[in-house]
Structure formats: structure tokens, C-alpha cells
Amino acid sequence: MTELTAKSCVPCSLGTPTLEEKEINEYIKNLSEAWEVIEYKRIERKFKFNDFKEALDFTVKVGELAELEGHHPDIMLSWGKVVVTLTTHKIGGLSENDFILAAKIDRL
């Protein structure tokens, strides 16, 4: 599989099939082990920080990356913690975009 971080997200069109379980099981191997697959519909990773400001700064970086990629996570920001959840809303499941963005978030 081509290195995910060498790819860019592409606009997802209605009707694009969601990834199947066996594809998801392959893609997830390319991410940090901290990512969890949830119901084969989304992936989620929790990040820990020393305080709210560090968590906020990370959240901003994730948001800026998402804007560059045109693909956006759901982000929960708390004191010392950020939970990033990725799914492709337009197709109601996971697409390669989610794994590309996750791989790039792993490098932040």
C-alpha cells in the first residue's frame, strides 16, 4: 500500500462505497496503535496533554490540517485531552480519506 502520508484526501461523492471490514483491517495497520476501529464505521484516537492550552493548540493544528485536506474530523476538546474521531459523513462510513488524515495527524 502506498504510504498514506504521501496521499491527499479527495472529495468524496455520494455513492462511493464505504470500506469493508477486511480493507479497514489492512488500513489500520498503517496507523498508530492508539487508533480504535468503532463498529467498522469510524476510527478514534485519544490524545493526552499537560493542560487545556496544549490540547487546544493541538486541536488547532488538526483543524488546519483538515482544512488543507478538505476532510474533517469530529474533535472533542477537554482539559488535557483531545478525542479525534474520523468517518466520511457523506457515505456514512469509512473511506481512504479517513486513514490518510489519521496518518497525517499521527505525524503532528
Ligand X SMILES: C[C@H](O)[C@H](O)[C@H]1CNC2=NC(N)=NC(=O)C2=N1
Considering only 70, 78, 79, 80, the residue that binds ligand X (CB under 6 A) is 70
Taking Cα atoms as reference points, which of 85, 74, 81 lies closest to residue 58?
Answer: 81
**Residue 11 or 15: which CB sits closer to ligand X?**
11
Q: Binding to ligand X by residue 75, rule CB under 6 A?
A: no
- The continuous run of DSSP H or E covering 8 comes out as none
Contact 35, 86 (CB under 8 A): no
Choosing from 4, 10, 12, 83, the residue that interacts with ligand X (CB under 6 A) is 12
Q: Please give the residue whose beta carbon sits closest to ligand X in the complex.
A: 90
Strand partners, 84: 45, 75
Footprint of ligand X on 17-56 (CB under 6 A): none
Q: Would you state the cell numbers that stand for residue 40, as one nine-digit string?
A: 467498522
Binding of ligand X by 93 (CB under 6 A): no
Minimal distance in Å, beta carbon 39 to ligand X? 16
Which runs of E-coded beta strand occur in the chain?
A: 36-38, 42-48, 74-78, 81-86
Give me the residues that bind ligand X (CB under 6 A), please: 11-12, 70-72, 88-90
